[in-house]
């Protein structure tokens, strides 16, 4: 009896939160997948964000301009292609707490990581260690290993993996490595556990030892507030197909702090779009980098790819990034409340599975993703049961389900339904 009252109260709370939600008007701006049935719930924005409805028109507009103008579209298209990338710096800067000149939309996350590492990992005989996370996203590790090898060094000697991923342990490791440390390179929000690091303190600790700090923000941008400029972060890279809803394979982004962006002596992988723009078409030998992050560009902008991103980022502008972040935090809190209440172990003998929440419970140490470890030999079968109930999350081997309510298109009532569906089969262990 007590439990059902609590359940009803929880549901009422969801309804009240939805009622007061200033972002709810934005949900109809997205195509909401119904592949698993009319009642499908999409909790997978940590992997691929949803398609904004304006994307199709934006792509058609570029087609029309191409058909109408041919090469003249570089100057006469609705959004002229010649400096197409520039407006993205304005749109991305508030999302990462940067000056527009510190941000550029280009390439993909891994390519941008290679470009940043080429500039900012310049080992010496004394200072050569890169601190990274033991369970780093594979692509980051491949980039780190391959760059170290290209520098003629041994990845085994240069890479220091940290197992404990909390900010305190990371700062301790930075101090322990001391003056051998060249670079700290970590995910801002860990893709597996959803843990958010204290980028400000980690950057300060790295700088104190004389090292640099760069971050993979794939799971952070659009999810948690970032102040990359104020925190003095040296560089950061991200993709835009997750929380930024810019579509599969969408162009990534690069942040270069202005103290580096204005230093034209920094060696880099160069291409003509990074060359001083007034002289770009002079085609002369002798690369002269532009100031700011633009000086790391290689090629002219992928217009069709970025057309979708323009629509997606304009929704963030309309929503107000502060509203997005505060709803994300509140959704995470409500999700945890639902899981703790509905997952209470008092009827555990009736449930096949148990789970624990591996994402930190403190709201300042996470975004809106929750990662649940499933304690069962066939844990994936619980994920299949959720799919049968119309819930789209994702499964990460060996035993984790990631579920992410996203502020722009998910509701509190959906969180309630997801927690209810999960806790029907599983109870919470702490």
Residue 275, strand partner residues: 289
DSSP letter for 236, please. E
Instruction: Answer yes or no whether residue 89 interacts with ligand PLP by CB under 6 A.
Output: no
The least CB distance from residue 220 to ligand PLP, in Å, is 9
| Bridge partners, residue 428, by sequence | 355
Asked if 114 touches ligand PLP (CB under 6 A), the answer is: no
> Per residue in 83-97, is it b (16+ CB within 10 Å) or e — as a string?
ebbebbbebbbbbbb
218 lies in the site for ligand PLP, by CB under 6 A: yes
- Binding ligand PLP (rule: CB under 6 A), the pick from 81, 191, 243, 427 is 191
**Nearest residue to the partner ligand PLP, using Cβ:** 110
Q: Which is nearer to ligand PLP, 220 or 389 (CB)?
A: 220
R_g over Cα of the chain: 23
Which is closer to ligand PLP, CB of 139 or CB of 232? 139
Percentages of the chain per state (helix, strand, coil), in multiples of 5 = 45, 15, 35
Q: Can you read off the two tokens belonging to residue 175?
A: 């101090």
- Using CB under 6 A as the binding rule, whether residue 109 contacts ligand PLP is answered as yes
Cα gap 325→320, rounded to integer Å = 9
Widest pairwise Cα distance in the chain: 80
**Per-residue tokens: 370:** 């929750």
By the rule CB under 6 A, 195 interacts with ligand PLP: no
Q: Give the residue, chosen from 129, 221, 239, 339, that forms a contact with ligand PLP under the rule CB under 6 A.
A: 239
Contacts (Cβ under 8 Å, ≥6 apart) of 93: 99, 100, 102, 103
Q: Rounded to the nearest whole angstrom, what is the least distance from the CB of residue 108 to ligand PLP in the complex?
A: 4
Q: Write down the least CB distance from residue 239 to ligand PLP, Å.
A: 4
392 binds ligand PLP, rule: CB under 6 A:
no
* Residue whose entry in the numeric block shows the structure tokens 């994307």: 55
Residue indicated by tokens 């304005």: 90
Binding segment for ligand PLP (CB under 6 A), chosen from 6-14, 78-86, 104-112, 154-162, is 104-112
User: Nearest 5°: CA angle at 334, between 333 and 338?
Assistant: 120
Ranges within 198-217 binding ligand PLP (CB under 6 A): 216
By CB under 6 A, tell whether 240 contacts ligand PLP.
Answer: no
Under rule CB under 6 A, residue 238 binds ligand PLP: no
Nearest to 311 by CA among 217, 227, 408, 179: 408
Q: Which is nearer to ligand PLP, 139 or 340 (CB)?
A: 139
Q: CB under 6 A: which stretch of 105-113, 198-206, 346-354, 387-395 binds ligand PLP?
A: 105-113
Q: Binding ligand PLP by CB under 6 A: which of 114, 219, 327, 373?
A: 219
Query: Which has the closest alpha carbon to 257: 84, 120, 91?
Result: 120
- Give, as ranges, the residues between 19 and 78 that touch ligand PLP (CB under 6 A): none
Instruction: Compare residues 252 and 393 and give the one whose CB is closer to ligand PLP.
Output: 252
Based on the shown chain and the rule CB under 6 A, indicate whether residue 188 belongs to the binding site for ligand PLP: no
Gap between the Cα atoms of 296 and 302, Å rounded: 15
Nearer to ligand PLP, 128 or 235 (CB): 235
**Which of 101, 110, 297, 354: binder of ligand PLP (CB under 6 A)?**
110
Is there binding between residue 143 and ligand PLP (CB under 6 A)?
A: no
What span, in angstroms and rounded, lies between the C-alpha atoms of 149 and 282? 36
| Residue 382 near residue 425, CB atoms below 8 Å | yes
> Which residues does residue 213 pair with via DSSP β-bridges, in sequence order?
184
Among 49, 73, 187, 405, binds ligand PLP (CB under 6 A): 187
Question: According to the binding rule CB under 6 A, does residue 135 interact with ligand PLP?
Answer: no
Q: Using the 8-state DSSP alphabet, how is residue 390 labeled?
A: T
Interacting residue ranges for ligand PLP, rule: CB under 6 A: 108-110, 137, 139-140, 187, 191, 216, 218-219, 239, 252
């Amino acid at each position: 009896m007590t439990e059902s009252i609590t359940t009803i109260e929880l549901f009422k709370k969801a309804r009240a939160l939805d009622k007061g939600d200033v972002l709810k008007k934005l949900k109809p701006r997205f195509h909401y997948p119904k592949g698993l049935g009319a009642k499908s719930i999409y909790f997978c924005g940590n992997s691929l964000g949803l398609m904004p409805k304006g994307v199709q028109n934006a792509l058609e507009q570029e087609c029309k301009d191409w058909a109408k103008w041919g090469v003249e579209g570089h100057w006469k298209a609705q959004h002229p292609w010649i400096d197409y990338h520039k407006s993205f710096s304005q749109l991305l800067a508030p999302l990462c707490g940067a000056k527009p000149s510190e941000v550029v939309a280009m390439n993909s996350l891994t390519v941008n990581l290679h470009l940043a590492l080429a500039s900012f990992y310049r080992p010496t005989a004394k200072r050569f260690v890169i601190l990274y996370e033991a369970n780093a996203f594979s692509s980051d590790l491949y980039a780190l290993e391959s760059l170290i090898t290209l520098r003629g060094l041994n990845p085994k000697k240069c890479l220091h993996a940290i197992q404990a991923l909390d900010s305190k342990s990371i700062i301790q490791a930075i101090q322990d490595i001391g003056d051998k440390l060249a670079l700290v390179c970590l995910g801002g929000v860990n893709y597996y556990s959803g843990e958010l690091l204290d980028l400000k303190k980690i950057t300060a600790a790295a700088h104190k030892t004389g090292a640099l700090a760069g971050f993979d923000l794939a799971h952070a941008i659009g999810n948690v507030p970032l102040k990359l400029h104020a925190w003095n972060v040296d560089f950061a890279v991200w993709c835009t197909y997750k929380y930024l809803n810019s579509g599969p394979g969408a162009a990534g982004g690069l942040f270069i702090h202005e103290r580096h962006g204005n230093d034209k002596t920094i060696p880099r992988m160069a291409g003509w779009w990074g060359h001083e723009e007034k002289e770009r078409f002079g085609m002369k030998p002798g690369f002269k980098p532009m100031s700011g992050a633009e000086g790391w560009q290689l090629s002219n902008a992928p217009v069709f790819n970025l057309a979708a991103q323009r629509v997606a980022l304009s929704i963030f502008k309309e929503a107000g990034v502060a509203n997005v972040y505060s709803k994300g935090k509140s959704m995470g809190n409500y999700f945890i409340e639902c899981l703790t209440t509905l997952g209470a172990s008092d009827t555990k003998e009736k449930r096949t599975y148990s789970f624990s929440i591996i994402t930190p419970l403190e709201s300042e140490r996470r975004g809106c993703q929750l990662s649940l470890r499933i304690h069962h030999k066939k844990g994936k079968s619980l994920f299949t049961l959720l799919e049968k109930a119309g819930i789209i999350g994702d499964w990460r081997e060996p035993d984790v389900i990631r579920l992410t309510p996203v502020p722009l298109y998910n509701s509190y009532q959906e969180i309630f339904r997801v927690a209810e569906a999960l806790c029907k089969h599983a109870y919470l262990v702490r």
